[in-house]
């Protein structure tokens, strides 16, 4: 029960007067009551008590007219007395009422009695005033609200002696206050609801989000029993979301033409909400629409038009299972909700349209499919940026090349907007054309850089282009300001493959790019990606590359029957990127696994062509050969193999005028031993001659070294030219 801030005191009833009183006694009683009332009134105002001769004649009629009773509590004797009106207000029988303060407190509601006791005790201690609302429980169980005000009087020595005051029935007053409090709480709930609805709808991005938020909104007061959100599309209502209705009940309305005799049509046409408080009102105002609505069991409705930019875009339906005459506050609340939903829906529709446009443009710019190339398996993924138009300049491509080779392209045009996507589309097509014409990787990259510079778009692009010799697993890679590839070995380990880098495309038209060669074993995977996967404002490049290596390495994901493991690996990488809160840029991802040619190859092989004028290539061959032998598990043979290979290749280039083809293979025997064989082929018919050089001779010792260090060696004719070879044997591991 709501109480006033001032304290409250107990109430005492007056003694019951016998029914047979003389006229003189009645007159004397009236004078005493009037005097007591004047005494109480003066005390309540802090004035000196009146004498018997100063009681105003109007006091008793005034208190009677206003239903006010008076009480007098003798504090020392703990005796309560009150006039007949006080007893009537409290519902007491004066003959059977114990006039002690404890008996009075026993009449009060259990929640109010402690409050009254504390306030009266404080007033007595401070010689002050007190007052309160409290509830009285009558003997018959009825409950009424009472209000009193009293003041404590002191005796001549300054000690508390009496409390005198007024009492009156406050049931109606308290109900009014209760209703006001309830309305205040409801208004607060409505205000809080509008704030929460506005926040939730402002965070809704798509049309589906808006429908979900609307159908889950907890409306204040008695909540509705049904909610439906529908958009207006070419004169038809498309239901976006609903709750409280069976699907089959609202299905006939979905995508159906809007009936002009329906309340939803009225709301959309007039742009004013339509409120129907009962089934009779619905039937009377919309007789043609009523037969379809009647079986649904609703009894009152609100149709709220959704307006955006002075144009109707849909309607909300709020329905109830009982007759409900919505008051002005309810209608204002629902109208405000309709406005919020309309603005949010308009924004979400624009977002969905932009997203669809961006997605369509991105699909056109990127390859529709990756062409299959025998001997390789590829997987690609594209993830749009987390914000903005969800379109960007990242791209990938797989280009079949002459001679059974395949070109892998990964690139990123600066920016992630429509302009960047347009530049990306042009550059992708140009680079693909240069590669398909058969130009070597360095020439492809240089021509693409000149092409982008000539476009004069103000954009630059990073790119990695790799040409893969599918027959031998040799990769020729060129990098223009882009990330190095990551290679996944057959055992699940990973390594970042260094590739010599150059300037991004479009910055220097005359830039010359260098080629880096590396080899793959069957089953190894090359991973090419853009920087959106490994770099962000809160993520540096080294940490991002470590994360990528962890995602690429380790056991391959378990797959269902018929699912390519490489696709599952691409899904794992993309899923980790999509779940990252650090991602801000779009991402292109290209994975290629070298399976070997269709006819198969020995388990491990390295094949290189050494140009006649490219003597520096011999040093590169030595490094590649050392790496290959180590990867094949026979690293103890690396030094000998490197030395003997240099001798045979140098012999072929010095004594002929043609290129040399170097092939290195490792064979596994049944007893667990391994046999390393290296062959050097040339087109010269000149047979090598073993000589014994003089002490000061600068050459002639090559074949002597081969004969001394190799387990076996030889020279074989091959129709046109010859083949020199040597073999090294490694003991079982």
Give the pLDDT score at 230.
Answer: 92
483 has a pLDDT exceeding 90: yes
Give the pLDDT score at 51.
Answer: 47
- Other C-beta atoms within 10 Å of 675: how many? 16
698 has a pLDDT exceeding 90: no
Model confidence at 107, in pLDDT bands (50, 70, 90)?
confident
Model confidence at 430, in pLDDT bands (50, 70, 90)?
very high
- Other C-beta atoms within 10 Å of 593: how many? 22
Strands of the 311-320 sheet, one edge to the other: 256-257, 236-243, 226-233, 311-320, 300-308, 274-276
Q: What is the mean pLDDT of residues 338-359?
A: 83
In the 3-class helix/strand/coil scheme, how is 579-648 assigned residue by residue?
CCCCCCCCEEEEEEEECCCCCCCCCEEEEEEECCCCCCHHHHHHHHHHHHHHHCCCHHHHHHHHHHHHHH
Contact 241, 230 (CB under 8 A): no
Nearest to 428 by CA among 361, 366, 510, 484: 366
Distance of CA 582 to the CA centre of its chain: 12
Give the pLDDT score at 650.
Answer: 85
Give the pLDDT score at 52.
Answer: 45
Cα–Cα distances (Å) from 273 to 264, 302, 451, 589, 595, in that order, read 9, 7, 60, 52, 68
312 has a pLDDT exceeding 70: yes
Q: Which domains does the chain have, with CATH numbers?
A: 23-169 (3.30.450.20), 189-356 (3.30.450.40), 370-594 (3.60.40.10), 604-730 (3.30.565.10)
Give the pLDDT score at 305.
Answer: 93
Residue that wins the pLDDT comparison between 336 and 538: 336
Model confidence at 36, in pLDDT bands (50, 70, 90)?
low
Give the pLDDT score at 444.
Answer: 92
Nearest to 565 by CA among 488, 482, 465, 471: 488
Q: What is the mean pLDDT of residues 477-485?
A: 94
Nearest to 719 by CA among 684, 680, 679, 678: 684
Give the pLDDT score at 478.
Answer: 95
SS3 call for 266: helix
End-to-end CA distance of the chain: 91
CA distance linking residue 535 with residue 98, whole number of Å: 86
> What confidence tens digit (pLDDT) does each residue in 49-65 have?
554 445 577 777 777 77
Model confidence at 18, in pLDDT bands (50, 70, 90)?
very low
Model confidence at 450, in pLDDT bands (50, 70, 90)?
very high
How much of the chain exceeds pLDDT 70, in percent? 82
Q: What is the mean pLDDT of residues 313-340?
A: 88
89 has a pLDDT exceeding 50: yes
Q: What is the mean pLDDT of residues 481-492?
A: 91
CA distance linking residue 59 with residue 328, whole number of Å: 45
Give the pLDDT score at 32.
Answer: 52
Residue that wins the pLDDT comparison between 9 and 39: 39
Q: What is the mean pLDDT of residues 145-167?
A: 87
357 has a pLDDT exceeding 80: no
Q: What is the mean pLDDT of residues 590-613?
A: 74
Q: What is the mean pLDDT of residues 649-672?
A: 80
Residue 606 phi, psi (nearest 5): -135, 130
650: tokens are: 């140098």
Give the pLDDT score at 420.
Answer: 78
Give the pLDDT score at 17.
Answer: 37
Sorted by sequence, the CB contacts under 8 Å of residue 490 that are 6+ apart come out as 521, 522, 523, 524
3 has a pLDDT exceeding 80: no
Average pLDDT, the chain: 80
Give the global pTM.
0.51
Model confidence at 632, in pLDDT bands (50, 70, 90)?
confident
Model confidence at 6, in pLDDT bands (50, 70, 90)?
very low
Give the pLDDT score at 42.
Answer: 53
Residue that wins the pLDDT comparison between 17 and 471: 471
Give the pLDDT score at 693.
Answer: 54
Residue that wins the pLDDT comparison between 377 and 617: 377
Give the pLDDT score at 7.
Answer: 41
Give the pLDDT score at 562.
Answer: 61
How much of the chain exceeds pLDDT 90, in percent? 20
Model confidence at 15, in pLDDT bands (50, 70, 90)?
very low
700 has a pLDDT exceeding 50: yes
Model confidence at 272, in pLDDT bands (50, 70, 90)?
very high
């Amino acid at each position: 029960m709501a109480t006033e801030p001032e304290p409250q005191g107990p109430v005492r009833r007056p003694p019951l007067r016998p029914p047979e009183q003389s006229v003189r006694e009645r007159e004397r009683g009236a004078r005493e009551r009037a005097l007591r009332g004047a005494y109480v009134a003066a005390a309540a105002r802090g004035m000196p008590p009146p004498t018997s001769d100063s009681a105003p004649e109007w006091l008793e009629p005034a208190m009677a007219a206003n239903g006010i009773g008076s009480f007098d509590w003798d504090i020392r004797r703990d005796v309560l007395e009150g006039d007949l009106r006080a007893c009537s207000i409290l519902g007491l029988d004066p003959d059977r009422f114990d006039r002690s303060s404890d008996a009075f407190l026993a009449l009060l509601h259990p929640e109010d009695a402690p409050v009254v006791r504390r306030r009266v005790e404080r007033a007595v201690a401070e010689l002050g005033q007190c007052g309160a609302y409290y509830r009285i429980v009558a003997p018959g169980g009825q409950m009424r609200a009472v209000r009193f005000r009293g003041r404590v009087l002191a005796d001549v020595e300054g000690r508390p002696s009496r409390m005198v005051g007024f009492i009156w029935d406050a049931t109606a007053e308290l109900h009014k206050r209760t209703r006001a409090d309830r309305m205040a709480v409801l208004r607060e709930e409505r205000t809080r609801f509008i704030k929460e609805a506005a926040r939730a709808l402002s965070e809704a991005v798509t049309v589906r989000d808006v429908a979900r938020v609307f159908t889950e909104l907890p409306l204040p007061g008695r909540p509705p029993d049904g909610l439906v959100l529908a958009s207006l599309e070419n004169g038809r209502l498309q239901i976006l979301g609903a709750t409280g209705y069976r699907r089959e009940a609202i299905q006939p309305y979905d995508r159906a033409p809007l009936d002009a005799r329906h309340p939803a049509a009225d709301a959309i046409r007039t742009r004013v909400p339509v409120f129907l408080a009962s089934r009779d009102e619905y039937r009377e105002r919309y007789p043609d629409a009523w037969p379809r609505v009647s079986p649904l069991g609703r009894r009152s409705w609100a149709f709220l038009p959704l307006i955006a930019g002075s144009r109707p875009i849909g309607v909300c339906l709020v329905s109830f299972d009982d007759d409900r005459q919505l008051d002005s506050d309810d209608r204002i609340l629902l109208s405000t909700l309709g406005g919020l939903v309309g603005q949010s829906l308009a924004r979400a529709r624009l977002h969905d349209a932009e997203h669809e446009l961006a997605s369509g443009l991105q699909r056109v710019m990127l390859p529709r499919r990756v062409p299959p190339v025998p001997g390789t398996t590829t997987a690609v993924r594209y993830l749009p940026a987390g914000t903005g138009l969800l379109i960007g300049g990242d791209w990938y491509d797989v280009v079949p090349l002459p001679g059974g080779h395949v070109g892998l392209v990964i690139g990123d045009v600066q920016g992630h907007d429509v302009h960047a996507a347009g530049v990306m589309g042009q550059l992708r097509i140009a680079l693909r054309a240069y590669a398909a014409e058969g130009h070597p990787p360095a020439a492809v990259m240089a021509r693409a850089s000149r092409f982008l510079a000539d476009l004069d778009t103000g954009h630059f692009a990073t790119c990695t282009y790799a040409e893969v010799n599918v027959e031998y697993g040799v990769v020729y890679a060129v990098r223009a300001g882009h990330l190095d590839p990551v290679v996944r070995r057959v055992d699940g380990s990973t390594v970042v493959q260094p590739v010599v880098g150059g300037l991004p495309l479009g910055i220097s038209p005359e830039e010359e790019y260098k080629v880096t060669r590396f080899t793959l074993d069957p089953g190894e995977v090359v991973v090419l990606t853009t920087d959106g996967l490994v770099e962000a404002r809160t993520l540096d490049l080294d940490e991002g590359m470590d994360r990528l290596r962890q995602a690429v390495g380790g056991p391959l994901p378990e797959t269902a029957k018929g699912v390519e493991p490489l696709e599952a690996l691409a899904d794992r990488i993309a899923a980790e990127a999509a779940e990252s809160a650090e991602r801000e840029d779009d991402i292109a991802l290209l994975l290629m696994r070298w399976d070997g040619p269709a006819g198969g190859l020995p388990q491990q092989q390295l094949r290189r062509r050494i140009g006649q004028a490219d003597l520096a290539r011999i040093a590169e061959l030595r490094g590649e050969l050392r790496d290959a032998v180590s990867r094949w598990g026979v690293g103890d043979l690396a030094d000998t193999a490197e030395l003997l290979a240099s001798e045979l290749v140098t012999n072929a280039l010095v004594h002929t005028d043609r290129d040399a083809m170097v092939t290195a293979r490792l064979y596994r025997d049944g007893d667990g031993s391994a046999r390393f064989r290296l062959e050097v082929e040339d087109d010269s018919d000149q047979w090598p001659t073993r000589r014994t050089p003089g002490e000061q001779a600068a050459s002639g010792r090559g074949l002597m070294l081969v004969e001394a260090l190799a387990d076996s060696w030889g020279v074989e004719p091959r129709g046109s030219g010859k083949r020199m070879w040597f073999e090294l044997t490694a003991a079982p591991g």
